[in-house]
Amino acid sequence: MDLLRDLRERTGLDIVRVEVGHIDFLRDTAMLKIYYEPLKDEINTIDTLTRLPKENE
């Protein structure tokens, strides 16, 4: 639940589910598949991207 809350706060998306696909402990990274409710009339597929603002902008 902490991961979902953190991802929601960082992205601003209404994330409903997360799948962990791969973990690289040497690089301290993970590949995640995130399921979320679309923003407005956005199509929620792999073919569309939601650009998120960088934290330092």
**In Å, what is the CA distance from 37 to each residue of 11, 16, 20, 42, 50?**
12, 7, 19, 9, 12
Residues in the chain: 57
How far apart CA 35 and CA 44 sit, in angstroms, is 9
Report which residue type is found at 17: R
The pLDDT value given to residue 37 = 84
The pLDDT value given to residue 27 = 94
Pinpoint the alpha helices (H) of the chain. Answer: 2-11
The pLDDT value given to residue 38 = 78
Mean pLDDT by 10 residues, the chain (57 residues): 90 88 94 83 63 56
The pLDDT value given to residue 8 = 92
